[in-house]
């Protein structure tokens, strides 16, 4: 069996759609750098049709050009319509990899399009979008079947098949509502993969607590049918409602579980030992602490207290531990400053700021450099509203131009139509009760 399981992390696209939570563009950039450091196959890094994403997306693609991001492919997500593809490549000209999404279930075709579109229209729109992406020189084109788990399987096969004929490279099976179970995941994905013979992406949500289980069983279905599998994940299982399939859980399930261990091959670039740093940073950036019992990266993942377990683990770790904490990059003591601490932030001054960078062993060659980097660090703090991490400070130091770019968000304001009418009527310059 030569087929592999690859990983497409969607934290920066699906994860940031989480209600009440989000990431600053600088934080999304650091996550892309960390995913690359870990060798994750692909990062779905955002929305090229959304204006406030444009500088961030272009800035990150410049990091690819400069060989700062070398292993992880960056891919943009958009609706499966040609107009979105056109706009995406206009906004982000260096975009190479994309995912195009259309709803495929009867429920959504009727419930969202309200009778204005048929299933034939869905296929036609997708094929036009794929052809448009081909004409723009896209290298990886995935087609996403939204609500695939509630879609008619024969329609999914037709949808995937026609998209493939138009030039799509992958089919994404998206369990939008977290409806599927591992058995149906395997059976349905096996059937589609066997029929269409095209690499399959599996995208599971955790509404029933089975996202990781469905992901690995779906991937098994694809591999057993003779195609590559791409598991969609989010770091720490972030995502809408109950979240997406957790990155480290899926990796460990493939590498360590009874039916998968030594049987399935993952992307050879992936270095599991980077997950600890990535999980901690992501928890910090989202301001969502890791649950104490989070698989692999929770505080209790390697803690033993009961007499029999503690004694057994001390005699031989294999008695009560399935995998080693060192494999995950854990084990180093964390140094927490308990005395004086100088941080740098939006109102910080040059002295404190120099001290912070000295601790990172980064020097400024002249006053202008110091002042300019300080100014960027202040803006970064305005932007993240959290103390800056070492990775963020280093990124600002080494790539000040990209840092400035990704943090630049120009609000859209054009006084037309009703706004212009309000302006002309002097309503904008009148006092209104706001508070």
Residue count, binding to Zn ion (CB under 5 A) = 1
Write the secondary structure of 217-268 as one string of H (helix), E (strand) and C (coil). Answer: HHHHHHHHCCCCEEEEEEHHHCCCCCCECEHHHHHHHHHHCCCCCCCCEECC
Q: Which residues within the stretch 211-240 sit at the binding site for Zn ion (CB under 5 A)?
A: none
Q: Which is nearer to Zn ion, 14 or 147 (CB)?
A: 14
Return the SS3 of 45: strand
Residue 10: CB minimum distance to Zn ion, A: 7
Cβ 142 to Zn ion shortest distance, Å: 13
Q: Give the helix ranges, DSSP H, for 136-228.
A: 153-166, 182-196, 211-224
Of 14 and 180, CB closest to Zn ion: 14
The span from the CA of 185 to the CA of 224, in Å, is 13
Query: Which lies closer to Zn ion via its Cβ, residue 97 or residue 391?
Result: 97
- Which residue's CB is nearer to Zn ion, number 14 or number 84? 14
Closest distance to Zn ion from the beta carbon of 70 (Å): 27
Taking contact as CB under 5 A, which single stretch among the options 12-20, 297-305, 392-400, 406-414 is the one that binds Zn ion?
12-20
CB of residue 259 to Zn ion, shortest distance in Å: 26
Distance CA 155, CA 162 (A): 11
Q: Looking at beta carbons only, is 8 or 328 nearer to Zn ion?
A: 8
Kindly state the smallest distance separating residue 243's Cβ from Zn ion, in Å.
10
Handedness of CA 13, 14, 16, 19 (dihedral sign): positive
Stretch that binds Zn ion, among 6-14, 125-133, 314-322, 374-382 (CB under 5 A): 6-14
Among 190, 178, 69, 85, residue whose Cα is nearest residue 128: 85
Q: What is the DSSP letter of 205?
A: B
Q: Classify residue 374 by burial, with Cβ atoms within 10 Å: 0-12, 13-18, 19+.
A: buried
229-233 and 265-266 beta bridge pairing: unpaired
Residues 6+ apart with CB under 8 A from 423: 415
Yes or no: say if 23 and 59 are a contact pair by the CB < 8 Å rule: no
| Nearest residue (CB) to Zn ion, 288 versus 382 | 288
Q: Nearest approach, Cβ of 262 to Zn ion (angstroms)?
A: 30
CB of 234 to Zn ion, least distance (A): 9
- Contact region for Zn ion (CB under 5 A) — 9-17, 78-86, 322-330, 426-434? 9-17
How far apart CA 290 and CA 329 sit, in angstroms, is 16
Q: Which residue is nearest to Zn ion (CB)?
A: 14
- For residues 248 and 276, the answer to whether their CB atoms sit within 8 Å is no
CB-wise, 14 or 392, nearer to Zn ion? 14
Smallest separation (angstroms) from Zn ion to the CB of 408? 28
The answer to whether the beta carbons of residues 292 and 298 sit under 8 Å apart is: yes
Give SS3 for 412: coil
Interaction between residue 201 and Zn ion (CB under 5 A): no
Smallest gap from Cβ 210 to Zn ion, in A, equals 15
Q: How far is the CB of 58 from Zn ion (least distance, A)?
A: 24
Nearer to Zn ion, 84 or 392 (CB): 84
Q: Which stretch binds Zn ion (CB under 5 A): 13-21, 131-139, 181-189, 259-267?
A: 13-21
Cα torsion 424, 430, 433, 435: sign: positive
**Options 14-22, 86-94, 213-221, 352-360: segment touching Zn ion (CB under 5 A):** 14-22
Minimum CB distance to Zn ion smaller for 235 or for 301: 235
Total Cβ atoms within 10 A of residue 391:
18
Residues 6+ apart with CB under 8 A from 317: 324
Cβ closest to Zn ion, residue 9 vs residue 14: 14
**Which residue in the set 3, 12, 14, 74 belongs to the binding site for Zn ion (CB under 5 A)?**
14
Residues that bind Zn ion in the complex, under the rule CB under 5 A: 14
């Amino acid at each position: 069996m030569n087929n592999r399981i690859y990983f497409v992390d969607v934290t920066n696209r699906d994860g940031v759609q989480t209600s009440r939570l989000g990431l600053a563009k600088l934080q999304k950039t650091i996550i892309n750098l960390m995913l690359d450091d870990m060798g994750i196959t692909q990062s779905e890094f955002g929305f090229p049709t959304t204006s406030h994403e444009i500088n961030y997306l272009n800035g990150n693609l410049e990091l690819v050009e400069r060989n700062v991001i070398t292993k992880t492919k960056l891919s943009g997500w958009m609706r499966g319509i040609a107009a979105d593809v056109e706009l995406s490549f206009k906004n982000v000209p260096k975009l190479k990899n994309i995912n195009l999404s259309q709803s495929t279930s009867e429920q959504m075709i009727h419930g969202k399009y309200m009778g204005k579109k048929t299933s034939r229209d869905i296929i036609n729109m997708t094929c036009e979008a794929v052809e448009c992406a081909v004409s723009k020189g896209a290298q990886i084109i995935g087609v996403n079947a939204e609500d695939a788990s509630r879609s008619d399987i024969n329609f999914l096969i037709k949808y995937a098949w026609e998209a493939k004929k138009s030039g799509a490279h992958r089919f994404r099976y998206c369990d939008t509502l977290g409806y599927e179970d591992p058995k149906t995941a395997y059976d349905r994905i096996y059937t589609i993969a066997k029929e269409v013979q095209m690499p399959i992406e599996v995208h599971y949500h955790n509404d029933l607590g089975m996202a990781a289980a469905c992901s690995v069983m779906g991937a098994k279905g694809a591999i057993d049918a003779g195609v590559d599998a791409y598991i969609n994940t989010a770091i720490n299982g972030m995502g809408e409602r109950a979240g997406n399939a957790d990155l480290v859980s899926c990796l460990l399930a493939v590498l360590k579980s009874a039916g998968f261990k030594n049987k399935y091959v993952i992307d050879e670039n992936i270095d599991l030992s980077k997950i600890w740093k990535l999980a901690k940073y992501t928890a910090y950036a989202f301001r969502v602490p890791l649950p104490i019992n989070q698989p692999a990266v929770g505080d209790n993942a390697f803690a033993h207290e009961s007499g029999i377990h503690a004694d057994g683990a001390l005699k031989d770790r294999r008695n009560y531990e399935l995998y080693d904490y060192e494999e995950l990059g854990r084990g180093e003591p964390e140094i927490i400053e308990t005395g004086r601490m100088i941080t740098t932030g939006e109102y910080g001054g040059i002295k404190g700021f120099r001290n912070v960078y000295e601790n990172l062993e980064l020097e400024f060659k002249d006053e202008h450099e110091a002042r300019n980097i300080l100014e960027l660090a202040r803006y970064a703090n305005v932007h993240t509203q959290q103390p800056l991490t070492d990775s963020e400070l280093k990124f600002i130091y080494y790539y000040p131009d990209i840092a400035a770019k990704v943090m630049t968000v120009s609000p859209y304001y054009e006084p037309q139509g009703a706004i212009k009418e309000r302006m002309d009527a002097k309503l904008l310059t009148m006092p209104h009760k706001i508070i």
